[in-house]
Amino acid sequence: MSVLYCLRTKDVPPGEAWLSPVEQKTLAGLRVPKRRLDYLRGRWAAKQAVLAMCTHPILPCDIAVVPNAKGAPEMFLNGKLAPFGVSISHCQSVALAVVGPCSPAFGADLESIEPRSEPFLTDFFTPHEIAWIRSAPADTASLFVNLCWSAKESTLKALQEGLREDTRAVEVSLPSSSLPAGGERFSFQTTYKPTGEVFWGLAHVMEGQVQTVVSAQSAPDLRVVVPPQTLA
């Protein structure tokens, strides 16, 4: 079981004492206000996801999320590499973090549902995806393109490659061209074409954003936690 924790800026406690010392040092080096806020939101979401999973008490400042050599986040508890993996995404004032067993690999992403340009479509998507996106009814075209983009980013995070890899190396497959309007999770698959590795994904549309989570080997088993005030 993995925990998906989703929050807004207002859910993040004031101050920095809840960050681990290494995270406080990283924050001190971040100058751009939006990047600082993203960092704080993402770290708080990741720590809350760990607290929702852990059966023993642990202080937020004893949890550290630190990038590895590829930039992918790794989780430490009391200075030791944790038996959990973590994936983080930020979008506008929202952050989400998924924490779960290290294996199978997983990744998560959050995107605004907004119009994308024609060059964006032709530069970053495969012919199959472009055909699927163009088949969308006019009122869901933005959802289709951002869902597809988010699925790619989640997969590239699970692979720890990020946008170093060509986004067309990931092919997104959705079962049909009629997606739920919102409120429910629906499934998709992605394939990393260089190796043929398949990822199972879940997508969720909420308040103008699309969230995706992918997992290698089997569909993500998610417990979703959203602070009540975030939904208010």
Ligand X SMILES: CC(C)(COP(=O)(O)OP(=O)(O)OC[C@H]1O[C@@H](n2cnc3c(N)ncnc32)[C@H](O)[C@@H]1OP(=O)(O)O)[C@@H](O)C(=O)NCCC(=O)NCCS
Asked if 45 touches ligand X (CB under 6 A), the answer is no
**Residue 227, beta-bridge partner list:** none
Touching ligand X, residues 100-129 (CB under 6 A): 109
Touching ligand X, residues 20-39 (CB under 6 A): 38-39
Asked if 60 touches ligand X (CB under 6 A), the answer is no
Q: What is the number of helices (H) and of strands (E) in the chain?
A: 6, 11
- With beta carbons less than 8 A apart as the criterion, state whether 78 and 62 touch: yes
Instruction: Indicate which single residue of 73, 85, 100, 201 sits in contact with ligand X (rule: CB under 6 A).
Output: 73
Task: Say which residues have a Cβ less than 8 Å from residue 12's Cβ, sequence separation at least 6.
Answer: 40, 41, 44
- With beta carbons less than 8 A apart as the criterion, state whether 6 and 89 touch: no
Asked if 220 touches ligand X (CB under 6 A), the answer is no
Nearer to ligand X, 156 or 222 (CB): 156
Task: Say which residues have a Cβ less than 8 Å from residue 178's Cβ, sequence separation at least 6.
Answer: none
Instruction: Indicate which single residue of 34, 128, 164, 223 sits in contact with ligand X (rule: CB under 6 A).
Output: 164
Asked if 71 touches ligand X (CB under 6 A), the answer is yes
Interacting residue ranges for ligand X, rule: CB under 6 A:
38-39, 42, 70-73, 88-90, 109, 153, 156-157, 160-164
